[in-house]
Amino acid sequence: MAATDVTSTIGPAETHEIIGQAQVWRRAKKGVAIATVVSTWGSSPRAIGSQLVVNSDGAFLGSVSGGCIEGAVVTEALDVIEDGKPRMLDFGVTDAQAWEVGLACGGKVEVFVERVGQ
């Protein structure tokens, strides 16, 4: 379970790496949130179940897209860590926008963000 102190790595991470990192941050008394791709429509670069774990310092591990919606997800995750309320984020893009946000052919991604440790 490779888990370093403060990493910010966009890239596919196995579920066990996400869980391991969340545990390390919890033990270090950091606030932690996990974002999960829960549904996709059209072509999406990351499969349902892909996750991003974020801590209260803004460090993160994993990915929920090709790298372009992570910024927005991390910002929301910090709010979730703050108030504890889970949120569903909806990223819908037209074909034209798709290029810019890295969703290959347009499509829709729903990302569920929840705090770890209620």
Partner 1 sequence: MRSKTLDRLATLAQEKQPTARVVRISDGRETLVRPDRVEGDLDAPSDVIVAAREALRSDRSGMVPHGNERYFIHVHNPPRRMIIVGAVHISQPLVAMAREAGFDVTVIDPRGAFATVERFPDVTLMDDWPDDAMGALKLDTRTAVVTLTHDPKIDDPALAAAMHSPAFYIGALGSRKTHASRLIRLRDQGFDSRKLDRIHGPIGLNLGGRAPAEIAVSILAEALMTLHGGSVK
Residues that bind partner 1 (CB under 8 A): 15-16, 19-20, 22-23, 26, 34, 36, 38-39, 48-49, 86, 88, 110, 112, 114-118
Largest CA distance in the chain: 43
Nearer to partner 1, 48 or 99 (CB): 48
Q: What are the phi and psi torsion angles at 34 (to 5°)?
A: -120, 130
Query: Residues 6 or more apart from 31 whose CB is under 8 A from it?
Result: 55, 56, 81, 82, 115, 117
Q: How far is the CB of 99 from partner 1 (least distance, A)?
A: 27
Minimum CB separation of residue 16 from partner 1 in Å reads 5
Closest separation between CB of residue 21 and partner 1, Å? 11
* CB closer to partner 1, 34 vs 69: 34
**Cβ of residue 96: shortest distance to partner 1, in angstroms?**
27
Q: For partner 1, which is the closer residue by CB, 21 or 59?
A: 21
- Complex with partner 1: residue 16 or 99, whichever CB lies closer: 16
What does the block give as tokens for 51? Answer: 């996750």
Residue type, 79: D
Q: How far apart are CA 46 and CA 20, in angstroms?
A: 20
**Contact at 8 Å (CB) between 42 and 106?**
yes
